[in-house]
């Protein structure tokens, strides 16, 4: 509704939770050229663009190989299978994550074993993981949540002690680092998602597995394409999970800009960190010492996240909660037999969490509008 004529009401600044248009605009012209060539070639599956992106992305992760897939979930599933997961092998996952981490274990034929997260970084707690690792445990599947790597040094030592393989869920952490390790370079293999809103996002679904072992890479390539090791010769029961050629073109255009976009995310996070210090009962996220956080999400904790979300929504400010339902309490995973209280740290974060708008290209005016809204919510008394 417009204000009555003559009355100089300042127009409220709308702030969507995420706006992908700035990143799209940055590659529009180049992509349209690529698209014209793609249409002329008619080669919509596989081809040189996919291979080129795989080379470039592997190099960005400090890895020998990348295997493009149709999604992050498929990269996780294929990763577990290619690394040799056998039926009923146990995989330790953190209690706070996107549900895909749990789903991948089930799709690969393994058993989900849940361990709580740490209060400070919201990632898999190495002590909790050690406590649940038993004789049938074969894998650790830590998640680099919200853009910050899990404590991979400590988890790596734990894995070595127990003879476990580590697959990283790096779906939220393109470009992150911690203690001299890079996201995607710290386990036996790592899975990435290129869902549009991820730090490196396609224009549809896409993912990749990165790793160094040539044989595991060959198995992963077979699994994404009907288990075929050569044309019409299937060694495994596989999937149709190739990386679309069009998505490879998008990702090749975007990869060189990832560092700049992550810097923009960090600048926005620093703005919030400064402006929201000691506001209400807010607990602000922070980078661990020795960590390069890439701020996939800016998640605050507060006693009434849904009240704050509704207050902001009324001012045209979008928020989201990551994640209100920890996967161990989802009906889909009722068979694991967990109850409220099973993983108290993850459940406390799930109750209190709210993610504020943050994306490359968010303006200072938009950040200020969010800050003003949050401050007003807490000053109403
Ligand atoms: C996005 C995401 C996935 C799954 O990615 P899709 O591409 O949507 O399948 C897995 N794990 C985490 C932590 C994610 O954020």
- Summarised one tens digit per residue, pLDDT across range 130-141 is 999 999 999 999
Mean pLDDT of 181-210: 98
Residues 325 and 193 in one domain: no
Whether residue 14 is contained in a domain is answered as no
What's the confidence (pLDDT) of residue 5?
52
CA of 72 to the centre of ligand 1 (A): 5
Atom of ligand 1 nearest to the CA of 145: 13
Residues 56 and 96 in one domain: yes
Mean pLDDT of 164-168: 98
Asked whether residue 101 carries a pLDDT value surpassing 90, the answer given is yes
What's the confidence (pLDDT) of residue 166?
98
User: 358, 361, 360, 381: which is closest to 370 by C-alpha?
Assistant: 358
What's the confidence (pLDDT) of residue 340?
98
Confidence at 381, pLDDT banded by 50, 70, 90: low
Whether residue 11 is contained in a domain is answered as no
Of 256, 279, 303, which residue constitutes the final position of a domain? 256
Average pLDDT of every residue of the chain: 96
Whether residue 94 is contained in a domain is answered as yes
Q: Are the CB atoms for 320 and 305 separated by under 8 Å?
A: no
Q: Are the CB atoms for 99 and 109 separated by under 8 Å?
A: no
Mean pLDDT of 264-284: 98
User: How many structural domains is the chain composed of?
Assistant: 2
Residues 122 and 35 in one domain: yes
What's the confidence (pLDDT) of residue 4?
52
Residues 156 and 284 in one domain: no
Pairing relation of β-strands 189-193 and 207-211?
antiparallel
Of 225, 256, 287, which residue constitutes the final position of a domain? 256
Query: 119-130: per-residue pLDDT in tens?
Result: 999 999 999 999
Residues 184 and 91 in one domain: yes
Query: 300-331: per-residue pLDDT in tens?
Result: 999 999 999 999 999 999 999 999 999 999 99
Whether residue 212 is contained in a domain is answered as yes
Whether residue 5 is contained in a domain is answered as no
What's the confidence (pLDDT) of residue 318?
98
Tokens representing residue 336 in the block: 């694991």
Asked whether residue 3 carries a pLDDT value surpassing 50, the answer given is no
CATH of the domain at 83: 3.40.640.10
Asked whether residue 344 carries a pLDDT value surpassing 50, the answer given is yes
CA of 316 to the centre of ligand 1 (A): 27
Whether residue 172 is contained in a domain is answered as yes
CA of 277 to the centre of ligand 1 (A): 30
What's the confidence (pLDDT) of residue 44?
92
Residues 154 and 265 in one domain: no
Tokens representing residue 319 in the block: 């928020």
Residues 151 and 275 in one domain: no
Mean pLDDT of 359-365: 97
Residues 196 and 265 in one domain: no
Mean pLDDT of 89-108: 98
CA of 73 to the centre of ligand 1 (A): 6
Q: Where are the beta strands (DSSP E) in the chain?
A: 65-69, 90-94, 111-115, 137-140, 165-169, 177-178, 181-182, 189-193, 207-211, 228-230, 233-234, 291-292, 298-301, 353-356
What spatial distance separates the first Cα and last Cα of the chain, rounded to whole Å? Answer: 29
What's the confidence (pLDDT) of residue 310?
98
The number of C-alpha atoms within 13 Å of 114 and in the hemisphere containing its C-beta is 28
Asked whether residue 239 carries a pLDDT value surpassing 60, the answer given is yes
Model-level pTM? 0.96
Query: 64-93: per-residue pLDDT in tens?
Result: 999 999 999 999 999 999 999 999 999 999
CA of 13 to the centre of ligand 1 (A): 31
- The protein residue with its alpha carbon nearest to ligand 1, atom 14, reads 171
Residues 178 and 30 in one domain: yes
Residues 150 and 168 in one domain: yes
Query: 17-67: per-residue pLDDT in tens?
Result: 999 999 999 999 999 999 999 999 999 998 899 999 999 999 999 999 999
What's the confidence (pLDDT) of residue 16?
98
Atom of ligand 1 nearest to the CA of 97: 13
The proportion of the chain whose per-residue pLDDT surpasses 90, expressed as a percent, equals 95
* Ligand 1 pocket by Cβ (under 6 Å): 71-73, 97-98, 100-101, 143, 169, 171-172, 193, 195, 205, 207
Mean pLDDT of 254-274: 98
Domain boundaries, position 205: 22-256
Asked whether residue 249 carries a pLDDT value surpassing 50, the answer given is yes
Lowest-confidence region among 7-11, 44-48, 262-266, 348-352? 7-11
Distance CA 276, CA 269 (A): 10
Q: Are the CB atoms for 61 and 190 separated by under 8 Å?
A: yes
Confidence at 190, pLDDT banded by 50, 70, 90: very high
- The protein residue with its alpha carbon nearest to ligand 1, atom 5, reads 72
Mean pLDDT of 270-293: 97
What's the confidence (pLDDT) of residue 10?
65
Confidence at 287, pLDDT banded by 50, 70, 90: very high
């Amino acid at each position: 509704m417009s204000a009555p004529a003559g009355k100089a009401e300042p127009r409220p600044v709308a702030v969507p939770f995420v706006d992908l248009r700035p990143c799209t605009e940055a590659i529009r012209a180049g992509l349209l050229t690529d698209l014209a060539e793609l249409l002329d070639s008619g080669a919509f599956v596989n081809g040189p663009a996919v291979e080129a992106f795989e080379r470039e992305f592997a190099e960005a992760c400090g890895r020998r190989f990348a295997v493009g897939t149709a999604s992050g979930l498929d990269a996780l599933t294929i990763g577990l299978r290619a690394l040799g997961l056998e039926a009923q092998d146990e995989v330790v996952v953190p209690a706070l994550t996107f549900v895909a981490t749990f789903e991948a274990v089930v799709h690969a034929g393994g058993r989900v074993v849940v361990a709580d997260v740490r209060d400070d970084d919201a990632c898999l707690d190495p002590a909790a993981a050690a406590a649940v690792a038993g004789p049938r445990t074969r894998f650790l599947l830590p998640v680099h949540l919200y853009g910050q790597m899990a404590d991979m040094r400590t988890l790596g030592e734990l894995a070595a002690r127990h003879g476990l393989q580590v697959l990283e869920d790096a779906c939220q952490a393109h470009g992150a680092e911690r203690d001299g390790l890079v996201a995607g370079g710290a386990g036996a293999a790592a899975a990435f998602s290129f869902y549009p809103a991820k730090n490196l996002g396609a224009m549809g679904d896409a993912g990749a597995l990165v790793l160094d072992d040539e044989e595991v890479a060959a198995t992963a390539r077979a699994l994404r394409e009907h288990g075929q090791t050569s044309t019409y010769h299937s060694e495994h029961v596989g999937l149709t999970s190739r990386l679309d050629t069009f998505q490879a073109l998008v990702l090749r255009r975007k990869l060189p800009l990832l560092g700049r976009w992550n810097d923009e995310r960090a600048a926005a996070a620093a703005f919030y960190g400064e402006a929201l210090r000691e506001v209400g009962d807010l607990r602000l996220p922070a980078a661990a010492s020795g960590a390069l956080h890439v701020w996939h999400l800016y998640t605050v904790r507060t006693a009434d996240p849904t009240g704050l979300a509704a207050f902001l929504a009324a001012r045209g400010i979008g928020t989201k909660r990551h994640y209100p339902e920890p996967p161990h309490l989802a009906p889909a995973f009722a068979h694991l037999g967990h109850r409220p209280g099973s993983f108290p740290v993850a459940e406390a974060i799930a109750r209190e969490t709210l993610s504020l708008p943050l994306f490359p290209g968010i303006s200072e005016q938009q950040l200020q509008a969010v800050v003003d809204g949050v401050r007003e919510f807490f000053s109403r008394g």
